[in-house]
Structure 1
Amino acid sequence: MFLSDALPAVTSRYSAFPEGCLECRIGDYMIRRHADSLWYVYRLEDILSVKRLVPSQTRPMMLIAEEDLLDSMTPAYFAEVQFLVSVFDPGHADESLARQAIQNKAMIKRAQGLLRAAREFSRTDCRVVRT
């Protein structure tokens, strides 16, 4: 008997980064140009797929995955890749200054645990910096 015979079957579901999105790994820094033309530094904490939970109408209240309730509508966030990020201050006038701030650790963490759609980090306005 093989170990694999004793384990339950695992179904795997692969996801891909959205078209035009940065391809990055946990721990990478990302610099992103905002509408104010400043470049801000983010750190990728995790890559997630999110399911919306809906409270039941019964007591005790339970949380049910929205996808289990809908039969003809696509659930919110379905197959959408999400980034869990920290964002740092200050903003930088150009990309090279943002890269320099990462190398010199000259940043102040403004917020952590922010969930952002991966598609917000496009290759046109963002860069990956591995340290």
Structure 2
Amino acid sequence: MRQRRWLELLSDYDCDIHYQPGKAKVVADALSRKEREPPLRVRALVMTIGLDLPRQILNAQNEARKSKNIKKEDLRDMKKLYWWPNMKADIATNVSKCLTYAKVKAEHQRQLGLLVQPTIPEWKWDNITMDF
């Protein structure tokens, strides 16, 4: 299939195609060069951490963000940097204990009023509103 496509593409040109064995190629490209060194044997890297380290990470994260509300974005940022078993549950319990989070939670906020439908103008371009 691939050869047929190449034949169709090259049929528009007046050219002669000759096979050249690998020994006859003087200039080697990057793909055909022989590797100088054999690749290193790579194994999976597994780090074992102490039981106290996840708690230290959460406490340090809270200290750094005392004035801010802990949000889902923070959880995503922490997931990029760290991982331990039951990380999501640990962060959820830590966030639920946070005093700042409890104060700004939606159920403690004053309810907003109902949305008011604007009046429809009688003539076009009578009322112009912009939102930036």
**TM-score band, normalised by the shorter chain?**
under 0.3
Structure with more helix by fraction:
2
TM-score, length-normalised on structure 2?
0.20
Greater relative contact order: 1 or 2 (C-alpha under 8 angstroms, separation 6 or more)?
Answer: 1
TM-score, length-normalised on structure 1?
0.20
Q: Which has the larger radius of gyration?
A: 2
